[in-house]
């Protein structure tokens, strides 16, 4: 399956990193476990941020565009500005199982967690259109396998798996099959900004690709009823950004979603996170590294980061769609894959793409 760039679709003017993904930020990994047996159309994804994020937390922040969703650890992140956990993405019905397994995994990794609290970050979207949510499919072994896959992917030279994988397995987006998507940008100041999305939102007739109203140009199609949906987004950057700056970066994901057709309708949970991998603190919130939070970026530098987030988020949505083939789920419910050839034809008719 092609990514947006493979079809000649270029979003914005900033260059991408080598893999055009979250793997372009040093130390970051992404791993998935995909469950498609029987009536399961679900899974778990792990975004690994740093080897010692618990004893030396990263700086982070979050923002909510529409709050009918959930993300464990979000409130403590907003309060403290500290990011000490990998980010796990999964189905609404599997959050408890993933949380428990993630907690036990960190206890094994950090024996010092005795008298201190640790809250795993687990975010969800509703995959009940395709997935049988009455069965608890995800096991502790699945969570551990996703974590190990994320560790193994660090420093990779190829993009990670996208589309109908991991937590994105049962997701639908803008009337088509959605899932996991990622993209990156490099700012004029040399900082890498990457976005990871789990897409599960929107209506077919609003699908927009680089400004072209693709959804309205497609033949009329009656969509079966689907859950309200949501979108989980994570910004990862090596720029030294403080907690307020991270919150502002997270908020810009919503602008990228809007470009693709999102209106953040009533039933959606658009929850966004952002983390700086170079802004480090101790567990009391004291800055440890002079370059990692001791200095604020100049305003121009923040503007470049904002632009990078918006463009990468838009492209990540497109990658999540283009990398997801048609899937048949429970009770024969079907989420149609977006046809790349049709997208290319419509883009060319409107003077876009190669």
Model pLDDT, residue 171: 97
pLDDT at 114: 72
Stretches where the chain sits below pLDDT 50 are: 290-295
* Positions of E strands within the chain: 29-35, 42-48, 58-67, 82-83, 87-91, 121-125, 172-173, 176-177, 180-186, 192-200, 230-237, 269-280, 327-328, 334-335
Instruction: State residue 20's pLDDT score.
Output: 98
Note the pLDDT of residue 290.
43
pLDDT tens digits for 60-113?
Answer: 999 999 999 999 999 999 999 999 999 999 999 999 999 999 999 999 988 877
State the catalytic residues. 230, 268, 270
Domain ranges of the chain: 5-342
Question: Quick one: pLDDT at residue 99?
Answer: 98
CATH code of the region 5-342? 3.60.70.12
Distance CA 338, CA 354 (A): 19
Within the chain, residue ranges assigned H as helices are: 74-80, 95-109, 140-153, 214-217, 243-251, 253-260, 299-322, 340-349
């Amino acid at each position: 399956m092609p990514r947006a760039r493979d079809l000649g679709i270029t979003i914005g003017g900033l260059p991408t990193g080598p893999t055009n993904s979250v793997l372009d930020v040093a130390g970051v990994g992404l791993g998935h476990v995909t469950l498609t047996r029987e009536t399961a159309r679900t899974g778990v994804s792990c975004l690994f941020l740093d080897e010692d994020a618990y004893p030396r937390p990263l700086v982070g922040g979050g923002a909510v565009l529409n709050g009918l969703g959930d993300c464990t650890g979000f409130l403590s992140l907003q309060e403290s500005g500290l990011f000490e956990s990998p980010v796990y993405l999964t189905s609404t019905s599997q959050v408890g199982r993933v949380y428990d397994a993630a907690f036990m995994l960190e206890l094994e990794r950090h024996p010092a967690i005795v008298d201190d609290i640790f809250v795993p970050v687990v975010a969800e979207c509703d995959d009940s259109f395709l997935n049988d949510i009455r069965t608890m499919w995800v096991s502790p072994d699945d969570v551990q396998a996703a974590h190990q896959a994320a560790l193994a992917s660090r420093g990779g030279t190829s993009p990670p798996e996208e589309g109908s994988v991991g937590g994105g397995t049962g997701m639908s987006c803008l009337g088509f099959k959605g899932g996991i998507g990622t993209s990156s940008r490099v700012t004029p100041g040399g900082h890498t900004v990457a976005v990871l999305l789990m897409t599960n939102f929107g209506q077919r007739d609003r699908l927009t690709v680089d400004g072209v109203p693709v959804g309205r140009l497609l033949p009329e199609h009656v969509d079966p009823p689907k859950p309200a949906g949501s979108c989980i987004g994570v910004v990862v950057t090596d720029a030294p950004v403080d907690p307020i700056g991270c919150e502002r970066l997270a908020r810009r994901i919503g602008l990228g979603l809007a470009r693709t057709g999102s209106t953040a309708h009533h039933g959606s949970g658009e929850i966004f996170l952002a983390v700086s991998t170079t802004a480090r603190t101790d567990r009391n919130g004291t800055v440890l590294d002079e370059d990692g939070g001791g200095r604020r970026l100049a305003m121009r530098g923040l503007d470049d980061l904002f632009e990078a987030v918006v463009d990468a988020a838009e492209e990540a949505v497109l990658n999540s769609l283009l990398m997801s083939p048609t899937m048949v789920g429970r009770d024969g419910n079907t989420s149609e894959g977006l046809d790349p050839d049709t997208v290319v034809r419509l883009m060319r008719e409107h003077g876009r793409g190669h």
